[in-house]
Amino acid sequence: MKAVPSLQEYSLLGPDILISHANSTSSSDADLLRSHGGHISSTPSTELQMPPMGFPICFKPSFAPMASLGVDCNSLISASLATEARLVLQSARAAHNQPLIDAGKPPKELNVKAADVFNLATIKGARAVGLGDSIGSVAEGKLADLVLWDKLSPGMCAAAEQDPVAAIIAHSSPRDVVGVIVDGVVRKESGALVSVEVEGGKRLEWRDVAKELLASREKIQGFVEKMDYPRIMRDMGMA
Amino acid sequence: MACAHYDPSDVFWGTLAGALESIDAGTTFIVAHEHMVYSSEHMRQGLEAFRRSGIRAAFCPAITQRVKQWNPKLEMESDDVPAWWEETYWALAEEHPWEAGRVRLGLAYDSYPLGREKTVEMFERARKQKVQLITSHSGGGTSQLTYHCPLLSWSKETD
């Protein structure tokens, strides 16, 4: 049962609706969602890899006005939005270019630009979650959710002078993110995460969290290794 | 179904680590479509991790199909929306938002096969509680549930 037709049938469409992926959504369903103020989130890494999804739709005309960019699972890929941005930008260019190259009519212009995907990851993300007035851009009166990049790092140097947006999209890595502020509180500074407070007032550095994560992983891996996955797939009717 | 192997502390550490990885990479907001909701405490520990992480988030618990038994044959729980899920979720809906608004409650809903009555009831109640957003998957040409919860594709009617 598809989300948008069901929502339409039950008269539940509204501006608080956020659809993940939306690949293969018809134009008419897209128009329906858009007319009710809903949004979609494209997550290139999982979509490009896992059927039945496929190429992200965030640049298509019916979807672009309500699209945003997201990270689906940091278990699959880096949590960096810059990575997703680069992936969706280049894959959208290739999807557009390839048929034209094959037809002997290679395009002379790029169909999508770095600024388009930068907006998907920032202001359009904010609008997709109903916070377009309070986050997603640097403006007086907005909440202090800010990211700082080092414009002199090996990755960003010179590129940041030429075109800061393109530098972030095409050249940056998490190493270049030297500061992050959320809700006016510094959460990363001088290139390192600040400590977090957990139960009992204890403060943990990232390495402390990493240790707990590794212990958790080892425990879960212990279960996974005992599973008979071919038999489970058969039980599920998938093999 | 991977969440069948997670206890609430795994949810806490995994979620906290993921949120910190996100901050480290320059992300300031997460919509958390929470699949790992195997019990009341799983739901609460996911929320706790976001609160502690410092990131801005819409915490959106999903109604996850749970494994009843693995051996000798895989069986899933048959209840649709467990009583404990509703008890915990609607209690959180009364509490939210948290951390002076940095963490808000949302709803992750892929349970359209439950039908009109239950779906409308969930949406209306969530909206009355002013949840930030309601998020659903929509994948390809077939049921969006097929790749996330393959069991649902043969246990319920789908198009």
- Are residues A182 and B102, on separate chains, in Cβ contact within 8 Å? yes
Would you write out chain A's pLDDT as a tens digit for each of its 239 residues?
Answer: 789 999 999 999 999 999 999 998 999 999 999 999 999 999 999 999 988 899 999 999 999 999 999 999 898 899 999 999 999 999 999 999 999 999 999 999 999 999 999 999 999 999 999 999 999 999 999 999 999 999 999 999 999 999 999 999 999 999 999 999 999 999 999 999 999 999 999 999 999 999 999 999 999 999 989 888 888 888 888 76
- Are residues B137 and A20, on separate chains, in Cβ contact within 8 Å? yes
- Are residues A232 and B70, on separate chains, in Cβ contact within 8 Å? yes
Residue B98 sits at the chain A interface (C-beta within 8 Å): no
In angstroms, what separates the C-alpha of B30 from chain A's closest C-alpha? 8
- In tens, the pLDDT along B113-133 reads 999 999 999 999 999 999 999
- Whether pTM > 0.80 for this model: the answer is yes
Q: How confident is the model at residue B150 (pLDDT cuts 50, 70, 90)?
A: very low
Q: Which residues contact A49 (CB under 8 A, 6 or more apart)?
A: A76
* Interface ipTM above 0.95: yes
- Are residues B70 and A196, on separate chains, in Cβ contact within 8 Å? no
Closest CA to A18 of B121, B60, B87: B60
- Are residues B54 and A53, on separate chains, in Cβ contact within 8 Å? no
Strands (E), chain A: 17-21, 39-42, 67-69, 146-149, 177-182, 185-189, 192-193, 196-197, 203-204
Instruction: Say whether A107 sits in a helix, a strand or coil.
Output: coil
* pLDDT over threshold 60, residue B144: no
Structure tokens of A89?
């930008």
In angstroms, what separates the C-alpha of B87 from chain A's closest C-alpha? 23
- Residue A127's pLDDT is 98
Strand order in the sheet with A185-189: A146-149, A177-182, A185-189, A192-193
- Are residues B10 and A219, on separate chains, in Cβ contact within 8 Å? yes
Residue B72 sits at the chain A interface (C-beta within 8 Å): no
- Are residues A23 and B139, on separate chains, in Cβ contact within 8 Å? yes
Rg over alpha carbons for chain A, rounded to the nearest Å, is: 21
Residue B146 sits at the chain A interface (C-beta within 8 Å): yes
- Residue B140's pLDDT is 60
The helix or strand, by DSSP H or E, that contains position A138, with its residue range, turns out to be none
CA closest to A187 among chain B residues: B54
- B144 contact residues in A (CB cutoff 8 A): 2-3, 21
Structure tokens of A70?
């997201």
- Residue A41's pLDDT is 98
